[in-house]
């Protein structure tokens, strides 16, 4: 049967008088079910979720991103009149290159698969306006990936590119593209903090180590700087310039893609449409801002556990100093590092473009990897038992549509597993359950609250506003429904912990599987939501009796020693690591 292709949730592009094919679940917004449920509609099979597909596609995108970065260096240097090295450009826009490659891989192959498997009698496409695809910076690019209009334009380009016939051009003005939420674009800073930061900056010296967003508790962060023999600082991020798209400039900025075909050609053809303006039109202003920051001019070393990703001014400033031989050290930000085949893997710039990478305990065969301790809980005591506490289920929000595979379809499976966990709990334990939604869930279009209220109206929801530490302290058992940083935190604090997630251990690198498998054998990690719910119900009346079993504690301790290590003197440990590494690093730029 022929169907009309719908690629967006914007109902102005839909047809209601014929059979339609929704490209994915993102088209069917939950609170518009009364509209789409009555249509003669099918949903295309998700892309990239078949057996082994995710791993193969991760490798394909990894290779594509590396090749694209190589191809970008000469055009960027020519456009800006610079001579930056590959390493410098990797520091500046390496994260964006990987995300862009992953996003376009997904959009291109999703359309390609639909054209191959379905008979289509038309599709609405957006004609023109492609110049509006470029966002101001890396963070706004991430958030644009969820924007219906933005994605519709990309799908339109690909449909035209792949020669789809019977396309229906749409010329009307659509809604403006979505920006990153204001509280995520520029974190709010209190007046007191700003005043304090300026006062403290007067004591900074030109050769002080530059430490920003170290992911440590605030007291440990200040103690770290004192331990390094320098006055503590509170450096604030400097916003990147927001400049309009210059179409003529983008026409001049081109990559030669004549030797490529298919996706690789498309990837290069659309760089000039999608590269953020801070890397092109606003680059000169970005460099000026980096040159004007009141930070040390000749730091002993640079250390961050977060700013390496979307802090554009920091990255340009760092790249310039790295070229002069200043050591650049990054710290682990959350889980996945040292365990995941994609997230936090060694091709991400915080690991590939730095002189050293400080981990939460694990070591690999790279000399630049330095085992330390779990930063987030540094100095915190183990939690005392809470025998009368509740059951806490900690969830994640819908991910940004940046993966090579269909993250919406994957999240739909995830959501169903949450419901199955709750429905399998014994009645007495379910009565004590709190489901903690992710604090960002309202920024995404999944409508988590509505789905929970429809499927499980009696379940107590915490909407992501209460402090997570308070919720954990008030809980008898904490359950994680995804492989999260929270698992590392609760295990290292010796909080009774259960976990389950879809996909088993397929996302793990080989060296990590034995540690996770030990948690599985100990009954901490479960392969199904039903198994995790059965464990919570079985252990509920004597949680401590279960949690203190020898095999459970041995598995927990062994896992934490590898991935969430604790040390008695975290500040001294990190100081020694940073000073030793900075002293041994070669000064000439590599």
Give the DSSP per-residue string, 489-514. HHHHTT--EEEE-TTTTTTB-HHHHH
Whether residues 338 and 451 fall in one domain = no
pLDDT reported for residue 588: 54
The predicted pLDDT at position 586 comes to 55
The range of the structural domain enclosing residue 229 comes to 188-236+293-379+567-584
Query: Which two three-digit tokens encode residue 433?
Result: 């359950």
438-456 pLDDT per residue, tens: 999 999 999 999 999 999 9
Which pairs from 53-57 meet CB under 8 Å and 24+ separation?
A: 53/405, 54/404, 54/405, 54/506, 54/507, 55/341, 55/506, 57/105, 57/404, 57/405
Q: Indicate whether 203 pLDDT > 90.
A: no
- Band of pLDDT at residue 200, cut at 50, 70 and 90: confident
**pLDDT tens column, 340-367:** 999 999 999 999 999 999 999 999 988 8
Claim to verify: residue 576 and residue 559 sit in the same structural domain: no
What's the confidence (pLDDT) of residue 191?
Answer: 72
Q: Which helix (H) or strand (E) holds 435?
A: strand 433-436
Q: Is residue 43 part of a domain?
A: no
Give the tokens for residue 59.
């490798």
Residue at 280 is within a domain = no
**One domain, residues 510 and 426:** yes
| Strand spans (E) along 100-171 | 120-126, 167-170
Distances from the Cα of 531 to the Cαs of 165, 242, 437, 482, 516, in angstroms?
50, 50, 22, 15, 16
First to last CA, the chain: 59
Do 453 and 528 fall into the same domain?
yes
| The two three-digit tokens of residue 69, written as one number | 């970065």
Which residue is listed with tokens 């379910």?
A: 430
Higher pLDDT, 151 or 186: 151
Q: What totals of helices (H) and strands (E) does the chain contain, helices first?
A: 24, 16
DSSP, res 400: P
- Is residue 266, in this structure, part of any structural domain at all? no
In a domain, 273, yes or no: no
Q: Is residue 353 part of a domain?
A: yes
Q: Nearest CA to 96 among 402, 336, 353?
A: 402
Q: Report how far Cα 441 is from the mean position of its chain's Cα atoms.
A: 14
Does one domain contain both 366 and 462? no
Phi, psi of 546, deg, nearest 5: -75, -50
**553 and 574 housed in the same domain:** no
Is residue 321 domain-shared with residue 412, that is, in the same domain? no
Q: Does 428 lie in the same domain as 362?
A: no
Q: pLDDT tens-digit profile of 392-437?
A: 999 999 999 999 999 999 999 999 999 999 999 999 999 999 999 9
pLDDT bucket at 517, cuts 50 / 70 / 90: very high
SS3 at position 339: coil
Check: CB of residue 322 under 8 Å from CB of residue 91: yes
Residue 589 pLDDT exceeds 60 = no
> Is 166 part of any domain?
no
pLDDT category of residue 81 using cuts at 50, 70 and 90:
very high
pLDDT digits (tens, 9 = 90+) for 106-147: 999 999 999 999 999 999 998 877 678 999 999 999 999 999
Q: What is the pLDDT of residues 242-253, one digit of tens each?
A: 999 999 999 999
Closest CA to 354 of 313, 307, 310, 312: 307
Q: How confident is the model at residue 585 (pLDDT cuts 50, 70, 90)?
A: confident
How confident is the model at residue 384, as a pLDDT?
A: 73
Residue 363, domain CATH:
3.40.50
The CA distance from 209 to 230, in Å, is 8
Contact 546, 539 (CB under 8 A): yes
Give the whole-number percent of the chain exceeding pLDDT 70. 96
The rounded mean pLDDT for the chain is 94
Q: Do 225 and 324 reside in the same domain of the chain?
A: yes
Stretch (H or E) spanning 303: strand 302-304
**Token pair recorded at residue 86:** 């590959």
pLDDT tops 50 at residue 590: no
Distances (CA, A) of 227 to 209, 221, 444: 11, 10, 42
The pLDDT of residue 175? 57
Q: Looking at residue 464, what is its pLDDT? A: 96
Q: How many CA atoms lie within 13 A of 438 on its CB side?
A: 19
Calpha distance 73→9 (Å, rounded)? 37
pLDDT in tens, 157-197: 999 999 877 888 886 555 555 566 655 544 445 677 777 77
Q: Which two tokens stand for residue 317?
A: 């400033």
At 310, the pLDDT band (50, 70, 90 cuts) reads: very high
For residue 325, is pLDDT > 60? yes
Beta strands 475-480 and 20-22 are: unpaired
Dig out the tokens for 253 from the structure.
């900025």
**pLDDT of res. 194:** 72
- The 3-state DSSP composition of the chain as helix, strand, coil percent (nearest 5) reads 45, 10, 40
Quick one: 503 and 481 in the same domain?
A: yes
Tell me, yes or no, whether 420 and 527 share the same domain: yes
In a domain, 461, yes or no: yes
pLDDT for position 184:
52
Of 162-171, 296-305, 490-499, 557-566, the one with minimum mean pLDDT is 162-171
Number of domains in the chain: 2
Contacts of 223 (CB under 8 A, 6+ apart): 571
Residue 462 shares a structural domain with residue 514: yes
Asked, for residue 91, whether it belongs to a domain, the answer is: no
Q: Which residues pair with 304 in a beta bridge?
A: 212, 330
Query: Can you give the CATH number for the domain in which 545 is found?
Result: 3.40.50.2000
């Amino acid at each position: 049967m022929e169907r009309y292709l719908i690629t967006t949730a914007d109902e102005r592009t839909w047809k209601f008088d014929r059979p339609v094919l929704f490209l994915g679940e993102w088209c069917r917004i939950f609170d518009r079910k009364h509209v789409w449920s009555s249509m003669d509609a099918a949903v295309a099979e998700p892309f990239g979720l078949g057996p082994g597909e995710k791993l193969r596609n991760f490798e394909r995108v990894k290779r594509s991103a590396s090749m694209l970065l190589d191809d970008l260096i000469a055009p960027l240097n020519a456009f800006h009149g610079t001579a930056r090295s590959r390493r410098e450009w990797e520091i500046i826009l390496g994260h964006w290159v990987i995300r862009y490659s992953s996003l376009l891989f997904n959009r291109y192959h999703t359309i390609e698969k639909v054209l191959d498997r379905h008979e289509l009698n038309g599709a609405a496409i957006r004609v023109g306006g492609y110049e509006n695809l470029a966002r101001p910076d890396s963070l706004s690019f991430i958030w644009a990936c969820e924007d219906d209009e933005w994605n519709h334009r990309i799908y339109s380009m690909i449909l035209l590119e792949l020669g789809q016939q019977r396309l229906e051009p749409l010329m009307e003005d659509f809604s403006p593209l979505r920006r990153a939420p204001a509280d995520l674009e520029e974190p709010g800073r209190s007046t007191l903090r700003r005043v304090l930061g300026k006062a403290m900056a007067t004591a900074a010296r030109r050769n002080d180590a530059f430490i920003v967003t170290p992911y440590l508790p605030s007291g440990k962060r200040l103690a770290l700087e004192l331990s390094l023999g320098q006055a503590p600082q509170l450096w604030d991020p400097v916003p990147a310039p927001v400049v309009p798209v210059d179409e003529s400039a983008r026409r001049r900025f081109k990559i030669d893609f004549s030797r490529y075909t298919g996706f690789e050609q498309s990837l290069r053809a659309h760089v000039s449409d999608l590269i953020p303006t801070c890397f092109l039109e606003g680059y000169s202003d970005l460099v000026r801002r980096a040159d004007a920051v009141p930070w040390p001019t000749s730091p002993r070393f640079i250390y961050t556990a977060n700013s390496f990703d979307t802090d554009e001014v920091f990255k340009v400033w760092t790249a310039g100093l790295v070229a002069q031989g200043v050591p650049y050290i990054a710290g682990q930000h959350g889980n996945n590092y040292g365990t995941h085949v994609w997230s936090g893997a060694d091709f991400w710039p915080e690991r590939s473009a730095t002189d050293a990478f400080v981990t939460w305990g694990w070591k690999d065969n790279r000399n630049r990897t330095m085992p330390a301790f779990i930063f987030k809980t540094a100095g915190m005591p183990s939690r005392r038992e809470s025998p009368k506490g509740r059951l806490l289920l900690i969830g994640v929000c819908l991910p940004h549509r940046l993966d090579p595979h269909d993250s919406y379809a994957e999240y739909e499976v995830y959501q169903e597993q949450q419901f199955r966990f709750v429905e399998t709990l014994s009645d007495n334990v379910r009565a004590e359950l709190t489901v903690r939604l992710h604090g960002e869930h309202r920024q995404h279009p999944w409508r988590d609250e509505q789905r929970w209220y429809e499927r499980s109206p009696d379940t107590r929801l915490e909407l992501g506003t209460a402090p997570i530490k308070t919720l954990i302290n008030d809980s008898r058992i904490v359950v994680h429904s995804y492989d999260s940083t929270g698992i590392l935190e609760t295990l290292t604090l010796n909080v009774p912990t259960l976990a389950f997630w879809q996909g088993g251990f397929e996302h793990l690198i080989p060296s990590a599987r034995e540690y996770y498998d030990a948690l599985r054998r100990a009954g901490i990690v479960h392969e199904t939501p039903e198994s995790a719910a059965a464990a919570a119900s079985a252990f509920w009346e004597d949680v401590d009796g279960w949690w203190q079993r020898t095999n459970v504690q041995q598995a927990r301790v062994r896992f934490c020693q590898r991935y969430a290590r604790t040390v008695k003197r975290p500040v001294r440990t990190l100081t020694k690591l940073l000073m030793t590494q900075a002293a041994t690093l070669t000064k000439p730029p590599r």
